Structure 1
Amino acid sequence: MTITALTLGMILLAYLAGSISSAVLVCRLRGLADPRTQGSGNPGATNVLRIGGASAAALVLFFDMLKGALPAYIAFRLGLDSFALGIIAVAACLGHIFPLFFHFKGGKGVATAFGAMAPIGPELALLLIGSWIFILMLCRYSSLAAIVTALLAPFYTWYLDDRFVIPVAMLSALILIRHKDNIRRLLKGEESRFSRKKQNSKQ
């Protein structure tokens, strides 16, 4: 198999892995409402926390990160270059955002993107998780926590292992694009703060 064919195969695999909606499946298994119709309507860990509690959200977060981490790690072990790694990681996120198995209606892709960055090293993973939690606790805006962490990620990567700045920057750009509406609401002071209670927010 040529490198090109291998890369294309990994891109397809990553997209299919990303298309498995952890939030929808966990909520079905737990007998909870479909996260696409409750709270913010976003099938992600933050919304599942609102409607199903911490344990359900933790499962969603784990599997959303895993479906980003596994394709990126496999591609790295196969010796693909940093640009190919970035494309493969983005494909996993696009699967989460536009899932083939769930009518192409998915989430923001934040956990999957951070999961794809995690194989770079435990230090980066801890910095990403720590930054997200700190900013969320400080401002109570889930979207702002994701945006700021995404902006910091390429700088963390440059400091820890500059070989992977390009793929991380690609993932960060995707997160920012997905949060363009949240950025507008934040600038206007109209963004909803994070709450564990059910609510009709637009985060």
Structure 2
Amino acid sequence: MKIIGLIIIAYLLGSIPTGLWIGKRFYHINLREHGSGNTGTTNTFRILGVKAGTTTLVIDILKGTLATLLPVWLGVTEISPLLIGFFAILGHTFPVFAQFKGGKAVATSAGVLLGFAPVYLLFLLLVFGITLYLYSMISLSSVVASVVGIITVLIFPAIHFILTSYDWLFTLIIIIMGLFIIYRHKDNIQRIRNKSENLVPFGLNLSKQIKK
């Protein structure tokens, strides 16, 4: 029963549509009707500004971290904390509080890694940051970090770098998370190909997207 309870709590935590609720409550704006229509961090930054975007980012990360640490704090050892955290990612992507239409799972996935493998998260954040500076696109940075995550979770344990040994559940979930994030960015990938993707106001824009 404890495990079922943790799964439900994790899913409900993930289901909190932070950007959507902040937009409606404090700005009287429905994010679904503006920008990309997404309720995640990037569109919140773009439509509502830095304060709302930062708040959304922090809360969406903490949803994943809290869900992952709950079984540790409660002394539940029958199930991996990573698996509980995964249900927060599902909740974020398919939120019961927002008609099952959620974000792209990047921030909440980062939160799960923060709770389970923080050093590995720092490595992926470095990849994300470098890509963001070079190409000025959050979407591409998310996709590249996901691809690198899929590759390195298979390679790093073999060379004992950051990940010292293979954990089949960790490997499987990282691959699923990575593939899912890539899939959720399929529209962004198409816009990148068309040179029409949204840019952040810094970086080198090496792919020469057309600035809006």
TM more than 0.5: yes
Match 1:47 to one of 21, 37, 43:
43
Q: Classify 1:51/1:105 alpha carbon distance in 2 versus 1 (closer, same or farther; 3 Å).
A: same
CA RMSD of aligned residues (A): 2.8
How big is each residue's C-alpha offset from its partner over 1:7-41, in whole Å with a ceiling of 9 and x where there is no partner? 22211110000010111122234315222221111
Letter of the structure 1 residue corresponding to residue 198 of structure 2: F
Which residue is equivalent to 1:101? 97
More relative contact order in 1 or in 2 (CA 8 Å, sep 6+)? 1
Match 2:185 to one of 162, 177, 182:
182
Which residue is equivalent to 1:74? 70
Which residue is equivalent to 1:193? 197
TM-score (norm 2): 0.76
> Is the contact between residue 137 and residue 200 of structure 2 (CA under 8 Å) also seen in structure 1?
no
Match 2:124 to one of 112, 116, 128:
128
Q: 1:66 & 1:38 partners in 2: Cα distance? A: 25
- Give how far 1:114 is off: 0.7
Bigger Cα displacement from structure 2, 122-131 vs 155-164: 155-164
- Give how far 1:68 is off: 0.4
How big is each residue's C-alpha offset from its partner over 1:68-96, in whole Å with a ceiling of 9 and x where there is no partner? 00010122342436x63333122101111
1:6 equivalenced with 2:8 (yes/no) = no
Which residue is equivalent to 1:114? 110
- Give how far 1:191 is off: 6.5
Partner of 1:36, secondary structure, is helix
Residue segments in structure 1 that go unaligned for 5+ positions in a row: 198-203
Which residue is equivalent to 1:160? 162
Q: 1:181 & 1:96 partners in 2: Cα distance? A: 13
Structure exhibiting the larger radius of gyration computed from Cα positions: 2
Identical-residue share of aligned pairs (%):
28
> Is the contact between residue 138 and residue 199 of structure 2 (CA under 8 Å) also seen in structure 1?
no
> Is the contact between residue 11 and residue 88 of structure 2 (CA under 8 Å) also seen in structure 1?
yes
How big is each residue's C-alpha offset from its partner over 1:157-194, in whole Å with a ceiling of 9 and x where there is no partner? 74334466633641442342243263476378137423
1:16 equivalenced with 2:12 (yes/no) = yes
Residue segments in structure 2 that go unaligned for 5+ positions in a row: 202-212
Q: 2:120 & 2:184 partners in 1: Cα distance? A: 27
Letter of the structure 2 residue corresponding to residue 177 of structure 1: F
Q: Classify 1:100/1:140 alpha carbon distance in 2 versus 1 (closer, same or farther; 3 Å).
A: same
